Amino acid sequence: MKSRFKDFINKNNLLDNCKSLLLGVSGGPDSLAMLNLFCNLSKELNIEIAAAHLDHNFRKESAAEADFVEKFVEKKGIKLFRKSENLPVIIKKENISAEAAARKIRFDFFRNIIEKYNYDGLALAHHRDDQAETILLNLFRGTGLKGLSGIQAKVVIQKLNVIHPMLSFSKKEILNYCQKHKLEPCFDSSNEQSIYSRNIIRNEIFPIVENKINDKAREVISRNSKIIAAEDEFLEKLTIQKYKEIFKEKNDDRIIIDFDKLKKINQVLQRRLYRLIYNKLNDNLDDLYFDHILEIEKLISNQQTGRGIDIASGIRVEISYSNLIFFKKNNRQNNTVFQPKEIEIEETIKINEIYSIYSNILRKKEFSFNENPRQAAFDFDKLKSPLKIRSRNPGDMLVPLGMSGHKKVKDILIDEKVPKNLRKNVPIITDADDNIIWLAPYRISDDYKITEKTNKVLILKLKYN
């Protein structure tokens, strides 16, 4: 097993540009076997290793397992990083699945260690049986080719260089290795209970398949994953190329793509683009299922600006004219409240974390109308300065362009399908007397429109930060 372990590492170039490696060690058979193999090969591989153990406090025996790992690592003479987190509390607070919560705190833990102590990578002990279970689980979830390609030997996860050096071994081989080397690992009792999807696949589905259909089902599924992975890699390159073509703007919690260009792309690549964007915002594909992809497709088939849907992990998708916007809902809502501000001509004013506004004045003969909804033009001489920006107040109304009577701002936003929770964040531009001249970017006031008598034109441009 030692030689196969080394061959797998070398064949897949797992330790290229890697001089120091952090090992995730739970204390179970898989991670203990991996730790023991690395300890025996560290000099030969010219690699410095350390171990990291996170106690999730999800089971009553977890503290004792953490103590076991500490003693085991101490005997090996390597450094251990140990931490305790209350996973049940995090699940309730973040309102996410147990699997997603565990993954999040685990990778946050690993990342903090790697960044602080400058480790080159992270090693996790997923094996061939894990591979088969993951692929089947992803098949049921509807994750596409990406999910069916399974666990990769070398991959970047949440900006961490991660290797899986145990993928060529079955669970049976690992247990035999532990027994032969008297490692005496801990066993997670919850793995025997069919209360999680993965456990049902492991304990109920695979035994039937191996008994009735193919006793090497896990091996076959793992082998096929390599074929699928190669095809997925090819399609991923095409997807990245298309993403670059439709990309417009991005920050930490928002990505904007060209809606019109997206609609011209083949559906296969569209669906991959949704996953790519979700992954960029969420740092993983946790909790994103095919049902969410179908919801996005339903949204874009409607094509109405202002419409939006919530998908997974607090991410929302909205149509805004020629834009399709993906954003982290909580961050966006928390950061969009703004205080009233004055507009200074030919200055860019930051309204909030989403919008800024720029203004300038042109002579009538220099002006031409623009269909961009985020740009508005007014008869400057009709305006009483200074102009101001504020959020919506109860009872706000204006005379929309082309109409003779007033209409409530609330009704305009409802007509535009602006979600109720986002209406307070729509910028309202007023004159010095608080008369609304622009409900940005939806309606301008007919009272300040450009006419034949206009001499100077005020241009206001709403921009995404």
> What residues are designated binding site?
26-31
Annotated binding site for ATP: 26-31
3-state secondary structure 367-434: CCCCCCCCEEEEEHHHCCCCCEEECCCCCCEECECCCCCCEEHHHHHHHCCCCHHHHHHCCEEECCCC
- Identify the three-state secondary structure at position 33: helix
Q: Residue 416: exposed, middle, or buried by beta-carbon count in 10 A (0-12, 13-18, 19+)? A: middle
Q: Which two tokens stand for residue 463?
A: 């921009």
How do strand 315-320 and strand 355-363 relate by DSSP bridges? unpaired
By C-alpha distance, which of 413, 398, 394, 387 is closest to 444? 398
Question: Crossing angle of helices 217-246/128-141, nearest 10°?
Answer: 60
N-to-C CA span, the chain? 55
For residue 27, the 8-state DSSP code is S
By C-alpha distance, which of 136, 355, 300 is closest to 228? 136
Query: At residue 247, what is the residue type?
Result: F
Distance CA 263, CA 16 (A): 41
